[in-house]
Amino acid sequence: MTAKQQTGESWGELAKTVIYAGLIAIVIRTFLFQPFNIPSASMEATLLVGDYLFVQKFAYGYSRYTFPFGAWPVGDKMQGRYLGSAPTRGDVIVFKYPQDNSTDFIKRLIGLPGETIQMKSGRLYINNAIVPRKRVGDYVERVDGQENRVPQYEETLPGGKTYFTLDRDPDSPLDNTELYRIPAGHYFMMGDNRDNSDDSRQAVGYVPADNLEGKAMIRFFSTDGSARFWEVWKWPFAIRYSRILSLVN
């Protein structure tokens, strides 16, 4: 075998390896786990800008929106879910924005099909029953170099799921809403940063079951927003080490 033939075989093996690795990555991302980064503050203090998550794609089964470009023909006329299972109230879920399926949102599941949801004087009501909450220590953040304290509460949903919410504005328009009646096959999503979240109380509206992409499971990386994932040279000063490999509640 000549040196030219050996070089050709080496390039061929490298190409196969790259193709196989790419196919494996596509399968993992499509069927198992997808990375997702947090671009906004709507889920503070649970999720912060600069957090990177793994989303479990098989948590609720598969729909056309689980797959790239929403192009997988699942169910009748590409509707419905395959191997579907119902989400649990309180799950943090990535879903396709109903008004623009090219956009991903991440919120907490608050209301189930057939239920009513309402905010009154900053308190959450599910089926006309107030959701318990208790005051905890302030959420402390830095804005333009200054320390800012935000009132924080521990809220407990029916079923026992607990998590923290923020109350930035005691007179927010989102603190008093109409009574929402969730239609069949839809869910009601809210951000934990209650006064700074575009969710089912606003443009997001009710989220169809088909639009659920997966459940947020674990933060695998986090920076303070001053460095993107690929900016390795900034990591030592930007990484939030305490948030790495931590579960999403």
pLDDT at position 2 is 57
Model confidence pLDDT, tens digit, residues 197-229: 999 999 999 999 999 999 999 999 999 878 777
Task: Decide: 45 and 139 in contact? Cβ < 8 Å.
Answer: yes
Cβ pair 80, 49 in contact under 8 A: no
Give the pTM.
0.83
- Which residues form the catalytic set? 42, 107
231-247: average pLDDT = 90
Check whether 10 has a pLDDT greater than 70. no
List, in order of start, the domains of the chain with CATH numbers: 3-247 (2.10.109.10)
Contact assessment for residue 182 and residue 24, using Cβ atoms and an 8 Å cutoff: no
Q: What is the DSSP letter of 192?
A: S
Indicate whether 110 pLDDT > 80: yes
Report which of 164, 169, 170, 163 is spatially closest to residue 152, judged by C-alpha positions. Answer: 164
